[in-house]
Structure 1
Amino acid sequence: MSESTDPEQQSAPRPPRGNVADLFSGGRLTVIPRKAARREQLLDHLAATLFTPDRDYTEPEVNEALRTVHEDCSALRRYLITSGRLTRTRDGRTYRQAATNR
């Protein structure tokens, strides 16, 4: 069996595991949970799998990463910021995974 050299497969997020796996189908998020506890689990997963600590991201880079799992990147980005999993500079230009991811 040969390894794929398809760039899209190489940059795809890790498959969901544990409590959030049922929120995904074919690697895509099927629903953003309304219940806070479930959404928190999802946000933990997204922050840990889509973003690297000690790396700065532009808003387009954050959006691109989030679109790999769901089209509503602005809602996911907002949830990640308000939950403290991503931080944003005052001018809104730079995003970063929070130092202590929950």
Structure 2
Amino acid sequence: MKNIDELFWNATVEEIKRGYIYDNSAEEYICLICGEKFIKGIIYPYNNYFCDAEKAVKNHIKEKHGSTFNYLINMNKKYTGLTDTQKEILKYFYEGLSDKEIVKAQGGGSSSTVRSHRFKLKEKEKQAKVFLAIMGLLNSSKKERNQKGQEFINIHKGATMVDERYAITEKEREKILKNYFKNGKLSNLPRKEKRKIIVFQYIIKQFDSNKKYTEKEVNHILKKIYDDYVTIRRYLIEYGFMERSDDCSQYWVKL
């Protein structure tokens, strides 16, 4: 099974919109936000009634994540391409507020300004559709299919910075992992940023994305991988692979 980042970035636009995918081979519905799974054929309890797996994943998204819209709109600007003002306006649109109500909620401005934002966002939507069509044609072309191993790795959704450090191909990742890991142990911590990211991507897969860990549990897992587990733990937080509570009592995979 692919990890949650791979599932998310390989999902269709429609699947991302609804917040989950259906895995035919495993016969289960998977939340694209956190990776929680719901098995087809199992009946799940919800409040005072029971529901099937697909309804259960929908309820899960609503209860745990608020909504798919809420999750997507709050993703890193590098992924959404939206300014803070545009995100705020979109939230108002999603809530169904009229232009006048939005002006009031913002504490000033004019309806014409809101209409201008609406127009620009519609233009952005058109551009996105054309770009998706272009990339779809590119990905299906014979030349592109022949570039096996040259595909870029998926960026983890919690990445704090998205730049050229993530321009890593599948071949590069395989080579680096082979050079730095022996029997699951990290030989040494690489200095180059690209290599660090690949190493941390491998390490974070040792954690369950649906579980919260104590610091002792995190240390126990990291000790098996690298002696200086404190440094690794710090980097996982710094690079956006993991989050922790303010009192450091709990750690979890950043989604």
Q: Report the TM-score when normalising by structure 1.
A: 0.76
Deviations 1:49-102 (A, max 9, x none): x10111000001000000111111000000000001010011110000111xxx
- Map residues 56-67 of structure 1 onto 2, 5 A cutoff: 56-67=212-223
From 180, 188, 194, the equivalent of 1:37 is 194
Question: 2 CA distance for matches of 1:31 and 1:83?
Answer: 18
From 230, 234, 251, the equivalent of 1:74 is 230
Are 2:251 and 1:95 equivalent residues in the alignment? yes
Q: Which runs of 5+ in 2 are unaligned?
A: 1-172
Aligned residues: 82
Q: Which moved more, 1:63-72 or 1:24-33?
A: 24-33
Identity over the aligned pairs, expressed in percent?
32
Specify the SS of the correspondent of 1:52.
coil
* 1:26 CA drift (Å): 3.0
Query: Which structure carries more relative contact order (alpha carbon 8 Å, separation 6+)?
Result: 1
Deviations 1:3-30 (A, max 9, x none): xxxxxxxxxxxxxx82312101232110
Are 2:192 and 1:21 equivalent residues in the alignment? no
Q: Which runs of 5+ in 1 are unaligned?
A: 1-16
Relative to total residues, which structure has the larger helix share, 1 or 2? 2
From 182, 187, 210, the equivalent of 1:54 is 210
Q: CA RMSD in A?
A: 1.2
Determine which structure has more spread, i.e. the larger CA radius of gyration.
Answer: 2
